[in-house]
Amino acid sequence: MTRVSSPLGDMDPEEFRRHAHRVADWIADYLANPSKFPVLARVQPGEISAALPATTPVRGEPFETIFSDFERILVPGITHWNHPGFFAYFAITGSAPGVLAEFLSAALNVQAMLWRTSPAATELEEVTLSWLRQLLGLPSTFEGVIYDTASISTLHALAAARERTVPSVRELGLAGRDPMPRLRVYCSDQTHSSIDKAVILLGLGQQSVRKIPSDSEYRMRADALAHAVADDRAHGWQPLAVVATVGTTSSTSVDPVPAIADLCGRESIWLHVDAAYAGVAAMVPGREGILQGAELADSLVVNPHKWLFTPFDLSVLYCRHMDLIRSAFALTPEYLKTIEAAPVRNLMDTGIQLGRRFRALKLWMVLRHFGAEGLRDRLAEHMRLAQLFASWVDESPDFERLAPVPFSVVCFRARAQQSEDADRLNERILEAVNGTGEIFISHTRLDGRYALRLAIGNLHTTESHVMRAWGLIQEHAHQLRSSN
């Protein structure tokens, strides 16, 4: 049947072809040279919305007009995460194979809630997550599932832990029950805030999170964890889960997972490993040890959208008891019942959401395009660049490093002169270098001290960009000191 375009149908296919070529050209030019834009958006709050009409146009507009507004109004309000000077938070990459996959995924508009609503999406997810699991050196007892973010992956992991400890929670809930011990989730004082948020949402109450002190290198103290568990048991708390982190958000420290896993095994406590950022480094020869002990965990999250060149969003939860996630969440209304004979996997059973995007496609294309070797080499290069930057900091009398550099993030700061406030000086350095439009770095606090954070993870970033960042930071630190 030939497609005849209808006045009430979609955009004419030939018109689509024309615009798609134009958009592809725009993306290719953008990816060829993202640094033609300032990395950090320079607009004022409200500026973008003020430039846009307050209501939907009554009549449809030509794509040329829409695209020109995209370039004129929206692009200036974009902070460019694909810019080689993006060194803030965790630097990420929307790589070209991933972008192509997103294009195809939007065209197919697959909604993979059931196996039959796109068998390829379900089965590709299984195959791709098995590839990734092997790259990370995790055993096949881990079943994987894709969610949007690590926050959601962790939420599901802790829901499974709750399901194991209080199986009646699905029917009876937690509120108003007597007797019901308070449940405890342990994590270090460096753990990401997504743990607190999951606990809030699971109805445990934020007081259920017990933050375990970390050592001088920001790693959870296993002895303090053991003490906390014993203390809680003695006071009527029921330990529910421990969250250990491989690559903490501030300093990328690695908790002692083997010792924590040992304790969790003895105490029958669910162990969730948050390897959202750094887990992928386990595929680099010589770095396999970072996931040592994780094979004993009950669940582990890793985010290909952080440091595996996959366009946002894509987070993977590996779990050794996916049946618990299913018993927590599977619920099939009549209209979703299917007659598939084989034991097919319906992805809607492994989580709170019914509809789900075809995210596996982009991870599959990224893994195939770069290959295991290509991925390892790129991760190793980012770690080399971070070591190089750290060595410059260490050699400079004007700067100090504030944490070890196990991966691709360096925490450091300018040393203050006698009467200077070091925190204020570094805040001003941050604002000054970010104001150049050439680089974007972020900050954290370590031991109460304001720290600058330089994160390497974008595929466009080379040694010369890192060198330029160091030059700018030194230059602005010098100027701010002299103007004091």
Ligand X SMILES: Cc1ncc(COP(=O)(O)O)c(C=O)c1O
Which residues of the chain form contacts with ligand X (CB under 6 A)? 90, 149-151, 192, 194, 245, 247-249, 274, 276-277, 303, 315
Q: At closest approach, how far in Å is the CB of 246 from ligand X?
A: 8
List Cα–Cα distances, 267 to 109, 183, 246, 270, in angstroms. Answer: 46, 14, 21, 9
Q: At closest approach, how far in Å is the CB of 311 from ligand X?
A: 13
Q: At closest approach, how far in Å is the CB of 382 from ligand X?
A: 16
Q: At closest approach, how far in Å is the CB of 384 from ligand X?
A: 22
Q: At closest approach, how far in Å is the CB of 435 from ligand X?
A: 24
CA 347 distance to own-chain centroid? 21
CB nearer ligand X, residue 122 or residue 154:
154
CB nearer ligand X, residue 90 or residue 470:
90
The answer to whether 291 touches 136, Cβ cutoff 8 Å, is yes
CB nearer ligand X, residue 148 or residue 475:
148
CB nearer ligand X, residue 169 or residue 275:
275
Containing H/E element for 282?
none
The answer to whether 307 touches 279, Cβ cutoff 8 Å, is no
Q: Give the bridge partners for 209, in sequence order.
A: 185
CA distance 265 to 1: 62
CB nearer ligand X, residue 122 or residue 249:
249
CB nearer ligand X, residue 150 or residue 222:
150
Residue 137's Cβ-side half-sphere holds a number of Cα atoms within 13 Å equal to 18
Q: Which phi and psi (to 5°) does residue 286 adopt? A: 95, -15
CA distance 350 to 157: 11
Q: At closest approach, how far in Å is the CB of 214 from ligand X?
A: 14
CB nearer ligand X, residue 117 or residue 194:
194
Residue 159's Cβ-side half-sphere holds a number of Cα atoms within 13 Å equal to 25
Q: At closest approach, how far in Å is the CB of 89 from ligand X?
A: 6
Q: At closest approach, how far in Å is the CB of 88 from ligand X?
A: 11
- Residue 186 in tokens: 């342990």
Identify the burial level of 181 via C-beta atoms within 10 angstroms of its C-beta, where 0-12 means exposed, 13-18 middle and 19 or more buried. middle
Identify the burial level of 26 via C-beta atoms within 10 angstroms of its C-beta, where 0-12 means exposed, 13-18 middle and 19 or more buried. middle
Nearest to 455 by CA among 193, 92, 37: 92
The answer to whether 293 touches 270, Cβ cutoff 8 Å, is no
Q: At closest approach, how far in Å is the CB of 324 from ligand X?
A: 21
30 Cβ partners below 8 Å, 6+ apart?
82
**Residue 364 has what DSSP assignment?**
H
CB nearer ligand X, residue 238 or residue 353:
353
CB nearer ligand X, residue 383 or residue 472:
383
Alpha helices in 268-407 (DSSP H): 304-307, 322-329, 360-395
